[in-house]
Structure 1
Amino acid sequence: MINNDFKLWVEFPPGRDLAEKLEEMGLDANDLATRMGYTPKAVNDILQGNCRITPEVAVMLEMITQISAGYWLRSQIAYDEYVAREKIKASLSDQSLWRKSFPEEVNVREWVRQTKDDEKSLMPLLKFFAVASPKAWDGYYKDAKLKVAFRISLADVKDPYATSAWIRRGEILADRDPMEKQEQIPVRKRLKAALPEIIAFAAANKVRPKSKKRITYWTPEAEVVDDCMTGLQELCRKIGIRVLFVQNFKCAPIHGMYRWYKDVPLIQLHDRFEKRAAMWFTFFHELAHVLYHGKKGICLQNIEITHNYPEKEDEANAFAQKCMVEAGFEL
């Protein structure tokens, strides 16, 4: 794996190293210009960092200084990266309110990798969302460009910041454990065949074990998954459906979500339901979307969002109620 946090950049242009080498060799800028066939001004621009070292120049310097062309090119790239980072940091310096819009729990739970040097930086949060700027985040999540099975907007959601963090956390967890791409019709057939087994599993897991203490929103540990959750994940994975449990936020108390993510049907649930019955109803509701409503849709439960097809929500609720009755839950 590549260590993406390894810093190659330096704070000065390679011309500084070149100037030191010339002094060591007893040469000046005019001497170097003559040896390269360049004008003194062009060499001075290189020494001052006003002109980049190109591959052609790097090879020339190798012949004159006996220092490899690769060194000069790597030094130039490292300095270019430093300049680019400083430019981006400056452009983000007035975006602190955007960072403060996200729930503090995002950092407490360590979803965002942040060091002491990053306390005032937006970089860790931007990396979490895999976007380059707050403006890009707006375009992806709020301006109807969020790519799920189709494009939706979180602009009308009460707290789009917390909601987007919950959705993105699910994507990150899914990417850590890849699944084979699925076709819609085969998944539906396997789901229909396995539905009695899933309902029987729900019947056997109607109550949370007393030893399992419900954990608060502020608990910093990773998502807590008990044996029931693990068993459900395994059952669904055999069918070709991914089930994830991701802690939500008080400001965005989402219970569940259905979508297709990277050609795999995904059911994402809150991981800390107070009552097991609420978890099962939400799960069966989302399962109905997989069974009946195909790939072009997304459903967020227990949150204010406009659904284009309310009849599909009614159908999912009816399916969930039927499964709950068959599993022996009292409605």
Structure 2
Amino acid sequence: MTDLSYHPSRGIRPGKLLEEFLEARDMSARELARRCGRSGKLIVEILAGKAPIEPETALQFERVLDMDADLWLGLEAHYRLQLAKAKEVERLASDSVWAARFPVKELEKRGLFAPAQGGNRVRQLLEFFGVGSVDACRERFDELAAVSYRHSPSFESHEEALIVWLRLGEREAEALDCAEYGKARFLQELRGIRELTVLSVEDFLPEVRKRCARAGVAFALVKPLKGVALSGISRWLSPRKALIQQSLRHKANDHFWFTFFHEAAHLLLHSRKAVFLDGNGYSNADPAQEEEANEWAANFLVPQAELRKFIARFDGTAEEVRAFAAEQGIAPGIVVGQLQKRGVLAYSQMNSLKDHYQWSE
């Protein structure tokens, strides 16, 4: 667990150590001042922590006390940093109400945050989001909201949870080494990824990450948060790197794979300035773009001309579905999902042909 809390006891006042050195040498502050050629007032203020140990003073202490100047300066820098952190925590405590809106308890459960309160909790969030201040955090959220909530105000009801979930995916993406994005390479990798649909989740997930990364796309599978009814998102992190993030919300392979290729379609076909959010039957995308992504994903998984031919001769048996899926080189559950979507099968039919996934604790 990463401990992002500040503990004042960890800061050692250099003057305290200096006092111990003087006692061990039976030397007074006045004598130290005389030997260093400095004023007695300065030494007293250093002992009290009111004046810093400057480089020139550290060099003099080195000669008089036989303790490296680097050590004195390091102690001083660390002490001043701890004082600054303590003051910052006090100042940030005024934003505790803001911090309380985020799902911090869930982040604790996931081992990302240590228990904290007040200003320490605010500091955790700022470090998590990679920003220096609450104002900078709000500005970043406003920029994200401007491109994320354009068409669907329903996303706004749990904005903080959504922002945290998006950041979790972003952090995973930052840790992935990806090649520079190339559209042709991405299409090539997608064809190979389609062949992985017949594998178990343990086998296909590492391959999906690897193949996407080769084309400049980070793939992140992030456990959903309460209040975030999303199946997947796609967005550009930079001109060189895109992100597909999924939640495994419906836990069935037909939904997982359709979501993946749907988000891939947004990257291939639509604006790089947009953040596409999809889930629970709604999307923030322009309806025409959403339909285009749906059609592209459906056809990429199962060529629709072939599916129509199959439907024309389909007698409603699981054996037929398995045989057709084998012909197409995809998992039977994906065929079932498309037949259910078209109304050929009821949503209660043939779900045993789908693979179902669970998050490990």
Greater helix percent: which structure?
A: 2
Deviation for aligned residue 1:302: 2.2
The alpha-carbon distance between structure 1 residues 174 and 95, as it changes in their structure 2 partners (threshold 3 A), is same
The answer to whether the 8 A contact 2:148-2:274 is kept is no
Deviation for aligned residue 1:172: 2.1
Report the equivalent of 2:203: 227
Partner-residue secondary structure (3-state), 1:35: helix
Report the equivalent of 2:224: 248
Residues in 1 aligned to 2:66 and 2:209: alpha-carbon distance in whole angstroms: 61
Q: Given residue 67 of structure 1, which amino acid in structure 2 is its aligned partner?
A: M
Deviation for aligned residue 1:238: 4.4
Counterparts of residues 83-98 of structure 1 (less than 5 Å): 83-98=83-98
Report the equivalent of 1:124: 124
Q: Which runs of 5+ in 1 are unaligned?
A: 210-224
Deviation for aligned residue 1:177: 3.0
Deviation for aligned residue 1:201: 4.3
Residues in 2 aligned to 1:130 and 1:64: alpha-carbon distance in whole angstroms: 44
Q: Given residue 243 of structure 1, which amino acid in structure 2 is its aligned partner?
A: F
Q: Given residue 69 of structure 1, which amino acid in structure 2 is its aligned partner?
A: A
Deviation for aligned residue 1:153: 6.5
Deviation for aligned residue 1:188: 1.7
Deviation for aligned residue 1:34: 2.7
Partner-residue secondary structure (3-state), 2:171: helix
Deviation for aligned residue 1:246: 1.0
> 2:212 aligned with 1:236, yes or no?
yes
Residues in 1 aligned to 2:144 and 2:254: alpha-carbon distance in whole angstroms: 34
Q: Given residue 18 of structure 1, which amino acid in structure 2 is its aligned partner?
A: L
The answer to whether the 8 A contact 2:235-2:244 is kept is yes
Deviation for aligned residue 1:286: 0.9
Partner-residue secondary structure (3-state), 2:131: coil
> 2:36 aligned with 1:59, yes or no?
no
The answer to whether the 8 A contact 2:177-2:213 is kept is no
Report the equivalent of 2:99: 99
Partner-residue secondary structure (3-state), 1:76: helix
The alpha-carbon distance between structure 1 residues 20 and 200, as it changes in their structure 2 partners (threshold 3 A), is closer
Residues in 2 aligned to 1:242 and 1:231: alpha-carbon distance in whole angstroms: 12
Residues in 2 aligned to 1:293 and 1:29: alpha-carbon distance in whole angstroms: 72
The answer to whether the 8 A contact 1:62-1:69 is kept is yes
Residues in 1 aligned to 2:9 and 2:71: alpha-carbon distance in whole angstroms: 13
Partner-residue secondary structure (3-state), 2:242: strand
Deviation for aligned residue 1:197: 4.4
> 2:277 aligned with 1:278, yes or no?
no
Residues in 2 aligned to 1:241 and 1:36: alpha-carbon distance in whole angstroms: 61
Deviation for aligned residue 1:247: 1.2
The alpha-carbon distance between structure 1 residues 12 and 229, as it changes in their structure 2 partners (threshold 3 A), is closer
Q: Which runs of 5+ in 2 are unaligned?
A: 304-329, 342-361
The alpha-carbon distance between structure 1 residues 153 and 132, as it changes in their structure 2 partners (threshold 3 A), is farther
Partner-residue secondary structure (3-state), 2:229: coil
Alignment length (residue pairs): 297
Report the equivalent of 1:49: 49
Counterparts of residues 11-160 of structure 1 (less than 5 Å): 11-103=11-103, 104-110=105-111, 112-114=112-114, 118=116, 121-122=120-121, 123-141=123-141, 143-144=142-143, 152=147, 157-160=156-159
The answer to whether the 8 A contact 1:241-1:265 is kept is yes
The alpha-carbon distance between structure 1 residues 18 and 68, as it changes in their structure 2 partners (threshold 3 A), is same
Residues in 2 aligned to 1:168 and 1:35: alpha-carbon distance in whole angstroms: 56
Deviation for aligned residue 1:86: 1.0
Structure number with the bigger relative contact order (C-alpha 8 A, sep ≥ 6) is 1
Partner-residue secondary structure (3-state), 1:94: helix
TM-score normalized by structure 1?
A: 0.76
Q: Given residue 231 of structure 2, which amino acid in structure 1 is its aligned partner?
A: H
Report the equivalent of 2:264: 287
Bigger Rg, structure 1 or 2: 2
